[in-house]
């Protein structure tokens, strides 16, 4: 289980355009790494658009926003383009980062149990150390609370 003060687990995943992106590429910047269940669903869209709308505020505090889900590069491309998302969306089909950050959880909807991504956000400092861990995130107010943690 990850704890505040631990090194953030590194990973290399593909972005929406098929480029390889590693967490270690962002040394020297704060990283808001957020995991979400599925592209273009109501909660995930609201969260992504919230990060989009606050992009300048995140840039002001030298923070980059990165979204990760198990969706494909093609799905990320459609999601990014549809909502004009200015940050990276990484495809984690093999659940490398998802499992590394322990966000693959049993979920329950309408009495059915299944495995899926637990909406979670990790704030990582310029040296790659976990500053904050937010699990079971509720979308409303989340973008602002993450920003407050960075300020």
pTM of the predicted structure, to 2 decimals: 0.95
Q: What is the pLDDT of residues 97-133, one digit of tens each?
A: 999 999 999 888 788 898 899 999 999 999 999 999 9
The reported pLDDT for the residue numbered 18 is: 96
Question: What does DSSP say about strands 88-91 and 104-109: parallel, antiparallel, or unpaired?
Answer: unpaired
Alpha carbon distance 5, 34 (integer Å): 18
Alpha carbon distance 53, 63 (integer Å): 14
Residue 6 inside a domain? The answer is no
Domain count, the chain: 1
Boundaries of domain holding 62: 12-150
Residue 5 inside a domain? The answer is no
The reported pLDDT for the residue numbered 34 is: 97
In total, the chain counts a number of residues equal to: 151
Closest of 83, 80, 99, 78 to residue 13, by C-alpha: 99
| Overall average pLDDT of the 137-151 stretch | 91
Residue 53 inside a domain? The answer is yes
Residue 89's CATH number = 3.40.30.10
**151 pLDDT higher than 80:** no
Q: What is the pLDDT of residues 47-86, one digit of tens each?
A: 999 999 999 999 999 999 999 999 999 999 999 999 999 9
Ordered alpha helix ranges (H), the chain: 42-53, 55-60, 73-83, 96-100, 142-150
From the list 13, 44, 98, 123, the catalytic residue is: 44
The reported pLDDT for the residue numbered 96 is: 95
13, burial (CB in 10 Å: exposed 0-12, middle 13-18, buried 19+)? buried
Residue 1 inside a domain? The answer is no
Q: What is the pLDDT of residues 3-17, one digit of tens each?
A: 999 999 999 999 999
**49 is annotated as an active-site residue:** no
DSSP code of 101? Answer: T
The reported pLDDT for the residue numbered 114 is: 87
């Amino acid at each position: 289980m990850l704890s505040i003060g631990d090194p953030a687990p590194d990973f290399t995943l593909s972005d929406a355009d098929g480029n390889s992106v590693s967490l270690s590429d962002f040394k020297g910047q704060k990283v808001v790494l957020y995991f979400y269940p599925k592209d273009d669903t109501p909660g995930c869209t609201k969260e992504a658009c919230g990060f989009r709308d606050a992009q300048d505020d995140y840039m002001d505090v030298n923070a980059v926003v990165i979204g990760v889900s198990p969706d494909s590069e093609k799905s990320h491309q459609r999601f990014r383009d549809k909502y004009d998302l200015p940050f990276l969306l990484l495809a984690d089909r093999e659940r490398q980062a998802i499992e590394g950050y322990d966000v693959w959880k049993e979920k329950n909807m309408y009495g059915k149990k299944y495995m899926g991504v637990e909406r979670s956000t990790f704030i990582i400092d310029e040296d790659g150390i976990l500053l904050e861990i937010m699990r079971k995130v509720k979308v409303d107010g989340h973008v602002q609370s993450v920003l407050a943690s960075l300020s």
